[in-house]
Structure 1
Amino acid sequence: MKRRSRQSNYFPCKVETLQQDLFSDFFNSSPDLASKKVSVEGKTAIIIYMDYLVKEEEVFSHVTTKIQEAKQLDYQTIESDIPITDIMELKTLDEIGGALLEGYVCVYIEKEKSSLVIPVPRIDQRKPGKAETETLIFGPRISFSESIDMNMNFIHKRLDTKTLTVEKFIIGDMIPTEVRLLYLSDIANDEAVQEMRDRLNSLKIDDVLESSALTQYIEDNSYSIFPQFLVTELPDRFCYSLKEGRVGLLVDKSPSGVIAPVSFLSFFQTTEDIYTRWNMGSFIRLMRIVAMFLSITLTPLYVAALTYHYEIIPDALLVSLGHSRSRVPFPPLLEALILEFLIELIREAGARLPTKVGQTMGIVGGIVIGQAIVQAGFTSNILIIIVALSALASFTTPSYLMGSAIRIIRFPLILLAGFWGFIGLIFSFAFIAIHLVKQRSLSFPYFVPIYPFQPRDFDNSFLRLPFLWSNKRAYSNRPKKIRRFQKPNR
């Protein structure tokens, strides 16, 4: 929208002038701008609002009716008669236009030096539902909503402590969006808080589309495929991270929160690991890490072995492989790329279709297409099994962003394995390891506790030890209070 910049006071003016300037200049002749003139004992006032942004029944009952029933027309009387708080007086056209876009009602009395704005916003929001991308068996299943006020309510219910600190930022030059920075002042590291504060203050962008988009503006390395901030739908995981000494971000109109700093292994953990027994939680964490490694290595190993390293394959398996590939016209590299691309195509189609149709598409489509391409001789049975196992292993990653990164990494690994065999695989693994070692999250090391080596943090990353043994927060977060509780004497 076109807006005029006014350095001096806009008032006093005629009510028609204010109405015309808002209508034609600020809102580009928007048909949604509603206005009504009211006269009381010779004085004229105008009530202006955007009809789709306010509760019109409350505008009529709390504003229009109260002004018409007023004994005298002045701002002090209006403010005392109207049962609404947070009423403000504004003096410029830009301020009034911005308030109208936030659900305020403008009341201007002719020849006055300012205008009164009254908050009557219409808040349309969905009810809290279950998380879609972070499914849990144990623990709270409620997810964030698009309302930042409702999300703050979730946080305060779980963190009922005076040390919970909330800082408000308005980001976006064209479309201002509210962003909240949350942390526990007695636990969070001051350097992490200040670093996040500085990054938010330095942003000069038109608008913030969503919390995931915001992380791409403030992350340490925008060229890396690995996510450096954890985006979660779950309030309980958000609160648990704050209690561990991290900082969080909530973005208005976004149904997810942002957590930082995080490590690479943080994306393979869930709060469900804490709700289950410690031995089961440790087993599941280790299984996810092993599954991640298998997901990125199984198909490249198949390509490398069949292209350059037949000698490492046992004789019995080599006969089976030769028989399975006897009708395949493609080299192993092209065969693997075609099948991996087909799996990703089915996965993406299933994710975009309605839930019931998507599940049917994934199961039936995978079986039918897989059987058809084997019978047609485009691929071997063994590669079908390997690619299916790789896909299943990638789905064990709790974070959708990290799971997507792992699936994408497979493609360059397959190419390098097809061109240079095991040498290409060793080179690619070394490159990934160096990249992870150099990576940072909010200026904190990303690959801890592996590098820098922190064996004391193994119980907060690889394992989930019993609560009585794990009474310390992760050293890598550098919290002010390292102890969660004092171990009892038994």
Structure 2
Amino acid sequence: MFKWKKESKSQEVFKAHSLYIDELKEQLKNELLYSDITFRHLKKNGNRIVFCFLESLIDKSSLDEFILAPIQNNEKIEWSVQGFTQVLPLSVLTVTNQLSEIISGLIEGNVYIYVEGDPYGLLTNLSKTVERGVEKPETESNVYGPKISFTESLVSNMNILRNNLKDPNLCMQDLVVGKRVKTKAKLVYIQGIADEELVTTFKQRISELEIDYVPGNTVLGHLIENNSWSVFPQLMTTELPDRISIALYRGKVAVLMDRSPDCLYGPTTFFSYFESTEDVYMRWNMGLFLRVLRLTALFLSVLLTPAYVAVLTYHYEVIPSPMLVTLGESRSKVPFPPVFETLLLEFVIELLREAGARLPTKVGQTIGIVGGIVIGQAAVQAGFTSNILIIMIALSALGSFTTPSYLMGTAIRMIRFPIIIIAGIWGGIGIMVAFCFFIIHLLRLETLGKPYLSPVYPLQWRDLGYSFFLVPYQYLAKRPQTNKPVDKERFSEKKAKLKKDIDE
């Protein structure tokens, strides 16, 4: 900001030249253009002082209480940087004279204090942020476990995570996301558990981003994932602090971002999106039942309606004879081929789902229930579709809604459409070709350099208890090897198997 004069090439010593207040104001106005920058002046014994701030970002009562009052009430104070640091009751005071630092500070809600004639000024944070309090999670509802979610405040999210994990090895490294709009972020991991290579990869991908603005953690995940063309999500975002706590102790790395109400973490596998925090809090056999139910619902959601199209188009011989009569009666008034009929109903279901999500909660629920019943009944009576297809469409939709991750549920519904079209063209062979194509795609997919289908491919028996199945806790002594944790043991497996009586 100020002009510098070089005194000695060998010693590399610089001295700052003082700046008049009018010159300082002119420079700040030129940089911040048509902003709400405000200047407040004080004068004493010929000395002039100016307070520069953006009116919409600071707390004016704090400005009066912590800055103006101490300066005006202390008549013996020397009006200089050193004098202000002795009387201002503020924990952080930054001495600077660089224009870039001052502009960044003002945008973040700082006040710049400058005495005319001094080579330096003071920056102090008096920001006033608009944020909501801690509430129940909206997109990831759960029966068991904590009922709090992350907020849009980075400081609040750090506080929530620190309260969950009172571990001295919990590391939070500073990050800056974006080139033009610099958003604060924190890289979170547990030192001694998380693989250093994984931490470096996460940090490097974020620091190398050449983009002006990142709206939130979900967009950040899209920018740093391995394959942007894939429909399957490769990094998970969650609003549940306990999910992040569990992930960190499994050797994963997370990112908290300011103004983002969720947390990004990885590496994640395909099976991670079918895990719920309730699986941890329930008994292992109940959690196993629910996890198998979700994976079964996945196959039903993807293959049920394509199978209906393939059977009615090419493979009538697989239908039992008593059911042929029912199918014939049901489809006797339908003028469309099965593939068009199925695509039409799938499209209607997606319309109802999107309308229900965008409308207010109470109205959205009414639209979803009443709209589905009314449209389904009217479509059958008008001869647009059959009763049996209505049942299969409903089962497919329910199967996709059982997925705990909203992104994965949407991906499942998307891949159903091309499989239905291929089933209408090639029948059962087309379904197998499409299914094999998606399996090959999943086998080639990686997340932060880790296989997406792990621990099934490559097969790691011990990790199956964390993802595909659930087993009792005493058999989960080792951390998941997919993440390559530094500390591989959670507890001693031999001691856990010992059963002790009370008197022992």
TM-score (norm 2): 0.94
Q: 1:303·1:418 contact (CA, 8 Å) conserved in 2?
A: yes
- The residue type paired with residue 82 of structure 1 is L
Check if 1:357 corresponds to 2:366.
no
- Aligned counterpart in structure 1 of residue 309 of structure 2, from 299, 303, 313: 303
- Aligned counterpart in structure 2 of residue 475 of structure 1, from 476, 481, 491: 481
Check if 1:83 corresponds to 2:89.
yes
Check if 1:45 corresponds to 2:49.
yes
Give the whole-Å Cα distance in 1 for the aligned partners of 2:202 and 2:81.
42
Instruction: Name the structure 2 match of 1:132.
Output: 138
Instruction: Name the structure 2 match of 1:382.
Output: 388
Structure 2 unmatched runs, 5+ = 6-14, 500-504
CA offset digits 1:350-384 (Å, max 9, x no partner): 00000000000100110011111111110101000
- Aligned counterpart in structure 2 of residue 147 of structure 1, from 153, 168, 178: 153
CA spacing shift, 1:108–1:238, aligned 2, 3 Å: same
Check if 1:116 corresponds to 2:101.
no
- The residue type paired with residue 28 of structure 1 is L
Which contiguous aligned blocks of 4+ residues in structure 1 show a shift greater than 3 angstroms? 4-11
Shift of 1:60: 1.2
Check if 1:65 corresponds to 2:69.
yes
Q: 1:40·1:68 contact (CA, 8 Å) conserved in 2?
A: no
Give the whole-Å Cα distance in 1 for the aligned partners of 2:458 and 2:246.
24
Q: 1:48 is paired with a residue of what secondary structure?
A: strand
Instruction: Name the structure 2 match of 1:409.
Output: 415
CA spacing shift, 1:334–1:180, aligned 2, 3 Å: same
Shift of 1:11: 5.1
- Aligned counterpart in structure 2 of residue 26 of structure 1, from 23, 27, 31: 31
Shift of 1:5: 12
Q: 1:317 is paired with a residue of what secondary structure?
A: helix
Instruction: Name the structure 1 match of 2:290.
Output: 284
Shift of 1:6: 8.8
Instruction: Name the structure 1 match of 2:39.
Output: 35
Give the whole-Å Cα distance in 1 for the aligned partners of 2:71 and 2:17.
21
TM-score (norm 1): 0.96
Deviation larger for 419-428 or 464-473:
464-473
Give the whole-Å Cα distance in 2 for the aligned partners of 1:47 and 1:406.
56
CA offset digits 1:235-271 (Å, max 9, x no partner): 0000100001111111111011111111100100011
Give the whole-Å Cα distance in 2 for the aligned partners of 1:21 and 1:188.
46
- The residue type paired with residue 56 of structure 2 is Y
Structure 1 unmatched runs, 5+ = none
Give the whole-Å Cα distance in 2 for the aligned partners of 1:6 and 1:293.
68
Q: 1:11·1:91 contact (CA, 8 Å) conserved in 2?
A: no
CA offset digits 1:189-245 (Å, max 9, x no partner): 222112112212211210211000000110011111000011111000001000011
CA RMSD of aligned residues (A): 1.5
Instruction: Name the structure 2 match of 1:489.
Output: 498
CA spacing shift, 1:7–1:298, aligned 2, 3 Å: farther
Deviation larger for 7-16 or 343-352:
7-16
- The residue type paired with residue 331 of structure 1 is P
* Overall identity of the aligned pairs, in %: 45
Instruction: Name the structure 1 match of 2:502.
Output: none
Give the whole-Å Cα distance in 2 for the aligned partners of 1:7 and 1:307.
81
Shift of 1:309: 0.8
Q: 2:259 is paired with a residue of what secondary structure?
A: coil
Give the whole-Å Cα distance in 2 for the aligned partners of 1:329 and 1:301.
20
Shift of 1:483: 2.0
Give the whole-Å Cα distance in 2 for the aligned partners of 1:220 and 1:153.
31
CA spacing shift, 1:35–1:11, aligned 2, 3 Å: farther
Q: 1:468 is paired with a residue of what secondary structure?
A: helix
- Aligned counterpart in structure 2 of residue 55 of structure 1, from 53, 59, 71: 59
Q: 1:212 is paired with a residue of what secondary structure?
A: helix
Q: 1:6·1:93 contact (CA, 8 Å) conserved in 2?
A: no
Give the whole-Å Cα distance in 2 for the aligned partners of 1:22 and 1:185.
42
- The residue type paired with residue 91 of structure 1 is N
Q: 2:2·2:97 contact (CA, 8 Å) conserved in 1?
A: no
Q: 2:491 is paired with a residue of what secondary structure?
A: coil
Shift of 1:20: 2.6
Q: 2:58·2:126 contact (CA, 8 Å) conserved in 1?
A: yes
Check if 1:342 corresponds to 2:357.
no
Check if 1:294 corresponds to 2:303.
no
Give the whole-Å Cα distance in 2 for the aligned partners of 1:177 and 1:7.
30
- The residue type paired with residue 407 of structure 2 is L
Q: 2:2·2:18 contact (CA, 8 Å) conserved in 1?
A: no
- Aligned counterpart in structure 2 of residue 222 of structure 1, from 213, 223, 228: 228
Give the whole-Å Cα distance in 2 for the aligned partners of 1:257 and 1:364.
35
Deviation larger for 334-343 or 101-110:
101-110
Shift of 1:324: 0.4
Q: 1:448 is paired with a residue of what secondary structure?
A: coil
Name the count of aligned residue pairs: 485
Q: 1:259 is paired with a residue of what secondary structure?
A: strand
Check if 1:185 corresponds to 2:219.
no
Give the whole-Å Cα distance in 1 for the aligned partners of 2:144 and 2:54.
45
- Aligned counterpart in structure 1 of residue 466 of structure 2, from 460, 465, 487: 460
Q: 2:43 is paired with a residue of what secondary structure?
A: strand
